Chain A
């Protein structure tokens, strides 16, 4: 270890000469995302277990609007692109561009959440509320958890955006933006699974 060349700091936001050479915060984020796989695994399997088991309707085919939801999917995928472009810009030192792409990501994220809110409101009008049946129970809680994750992501993005205006966001903060990015992409890949498992795979329910 090049310990003679580096001071040993315990300070958390500075770089340590770590045992693996990897930054603490990135390792922590990947561990967190790994544990989050278990979280969504439990929610998705609950949904899959209860597929077709609702005793009363409305059933998925009664309420799902696949074209509408697929637009949501495009939106979220696009936001992953803008996220990664924001990071690339920041790493290049182009703070202006980074700001634009961060804003775009946040806006796309808000569009997604807005779309979900609209979707749920429509479902509610079609008599599918949280406690209507087993489908509503497992659907709303699964997508609700996902939506909450997206909302927290948007909060982080807006925070980064605010920092960029007060000069707190520079290339040396690229790691932080990378962490937010990893979280954001994770939220996207969970949606990839949800879109397929919940919306696209047919349920075989009446109606």
Chain B
């Protein structure tokens, strides 16, 4: 039995370092990656409900022609906030929830490289999101689209886009810091024997995502800073009258924005790569190809950004170059699809809810990918750009892709995290209604786009013949809402069940299923020694001469960890980093300074003081010994 030592309390200065790791207040001081993962998940899901409600309002407005349920200016805020919310406050943090919870577990570590920094990232994300949303009450929400093109975004008189620039700067800090933390964790904290090519695909995708974040976020940091300066101080970065060029913003935004979409999809691809083998009872087909494709997508993803700018007038040379690179990036993506299909082929398939979402992911993502390939053809994109055809494309890959994958992940890992299963009956209902609703919502948008319906319009006249499919789409949206409600019912119902889950309910392949459900605070009683890819599977099963998979008998060689000393760490206590207030305090300084930049310079000072106090408290607080 492992002994976990809790840091001895040594009062120092104003705040004693907290010690409690259970109870309500422990959530505010936790540095445990599992709790932080849960915090990210809950917060992201709350924003999902909000962002989804914004979508419902949009679909309500567009359900019939010539409506005025939302005025034009409110409509602009609605689609802007829907986009900002879904990209920055839902998919990214939901992926972060999975990365935070699972990365240490899957690599056999006890926590991430910098636990307090991890907590800091969560709080900065939360405060950034709240900051952006406070704009509804403080002068208007962002209204320049999630992509904020100037001069529209720099000249708009309301405060919305100022909140946009500062809020995303705050969440950007959170993500950059977290990216470095998790990248170092994956590179440096793997269990003994876990070489890079014995890591689960989810971990590989995690590593690629962190590097994408680390290298793309600084670029938008500068873009947002330049936008903020233009708006708040009257600089001329995007001011044509002074010689500035709004197209510079577009480059800076999309240099980040394109890697961003791979940041949004790779986690879900990683999740699906874990789920498919478990429910097909077959190893992932072409593991190395899937890994290298992920790396290739990350790398090439930095070379396609101007395909968002085909209609801007960069000229035929630039357009052609980016058209070609965009076509090229379809290749590694296709490789993954074929490998997933190869995993399913001749597998012993169980259609559990996670499996349904994963198969749904493949199908929906292929559709979205195909429309994406049509955008890569430049003259074709001239017709499609700024129409609903594009809206269809990115919702197929981001909802049908990322969200489906993330839902699959929730169903799959729920028992590990919460010690109970989500109900299969409700789960299947969730899936099918979501699938039908999703396709009803976004399928018709391909047609609407090709019929000429532009994006971001508050209403359309009846004479354009767009009414029927808009109505279908809006009905679909409410079906999606119903499916999400079903999920919520399922989630709440699961907590009524007793918390008595086995370690490995799905008969899975990776290390997180080696420990209890939920895992103890220290993750593993003994750090596992890894001998192969799919380590857990090989501990449970071996192959006979005839290639038949047979369980390894209990006490057989699969159980031995290769640790000659046996027993937990030689009887030493497992030291875990203690909880801390300071990450929260340091993070709190950010939104306060941001409000100050808008309203009052004294607040900026207060914010900076909080940040400094937080960081100094952090480095000075006594450690666990």
Contact = CB atoms under 8 A, between A and B. Distances in A.
A38 B215 contact: yes
Nearest to B624: A11
A179 interface: no
A53 B243 contact: yes
B180 A137 contact: no
Nearest to A140: B235
B243 A50 contact: yes
Interface in A154-181: 159
B221 to A, nearest CB: 6
B25 interface: no
Interface string B390-410: 000000000000000000000
Contact of A27 (B184, B233, B565, B577): B184
A159 B565 CA distance: 44
A154 B180 CA distance: 23
Contact of B223 (A19, A32, A42): A42
B373 interface: no
Contact of B189 (A16, A53, A141): A16
B556 interface: no
A88 to B, nearest CB: 24
A29 B267 CA distance: 25
B193 A131 contact: no
A46 interface: yes
A196 to B, nearest CB: 20
A159 to B, nearest CB: 8
Interface string B210-226: 00001111110111011
B192 interface: yes
A12 B188 contact: no
A134 interface: yes
A19 B109 CA distance: 11
B176 interface: yes
Contact of B188 (A1, A10, A27, A46): A27
B116 interface: yes
User: Most chain-B Cβ atoms within 10 A of its Cβ — which of A10, A28, A138?
Assistant: A10
Interface stretch (B8-16, B244-252, B346-354, B478-486): B244-252
Interface string A1-26: 10110011111110010111010100
A16 B237 contact: no
A13 to B, nearest CB: 6
B180 A32 contact: yes
Contacts of A138: 237
Interface string A102-144: 0000000000000000000000000000110110011001000
B183 interface: yes
A4 B223 contact: no
Contacts of A145: 225
Given A27-B187, A28-B113, A42 B242 contact: no
A19 B189 contact: yes
A128 to B, nearest CB: 13
A20 B223 contact: no
A10 B623 contact: no
A12 B116 contact: yes
A39 interface: yes
A7 B572 contact: yes
Interface in A27-42: 27-28, 31-32, 34-36, 38-39, 41-42
Contact of A35 (B214, B245, B570): B214
A47 to B, nearest CB: 11
A55 interface: yes
Interface in B98-123: 109-111, 113-116
A69 interface: no
Interface string A55-86: 11000000000000000000000000000000
A49 interface: yes
Contact of B218 (A7, A36, A56, A159): A36
B277 to A, nearest CB: 24
B233 A46 contact: no
Contacts of A34: 214-215
Contacts of B215: 34-35, 38
Nearest to A53: B243
B313 interface: no
Contact of A46 (B222, B243, B529): B222
Interface of A: 1, 3-4, 7-13, 16, 18-20, 22, 24, 27-28, 31-32, 34-36, 38-39, 41-43, 46, 49-50, 53-56, 130-131, 133-134, 137-138, 141, 145, 159
Interface of B: 109-111, 113-116, 176, 179-181, 183-184, 187-190, 192-194, 214-219, 221-223, 225-226, 229, 233-237, 239, 241-245, 248, 252, 255, 522, 527, 529, 563-565, 569-570, 572, 574-577, 616, 619, 623-625
30 contacts: A7-B572, A10-B115, A10-B577, A11-B575, A11-B576, A11-B624, A16-B189, A19-B187, A20-B188, A24-B189, A28-B180, A32-B214, A35-B176, A35-B180, A35-B215, A36-B218, A41-B219, A42-B252, A46-B226, A49-B245, A49-B248, A50-B244, A53-B243, A130-B235, A131-B233, A134-B242, A134-B243, A137-B237, A137-B244, A141-B226
Question: Which 10 pairs show the lowest CB-CB distances between chains A and B?
Answer: A39-B218, A42-B222, A1-B192, A10-B110, A53-B243, A38-B218, A137-B235, A18-B188, A35-B214, A131-B234
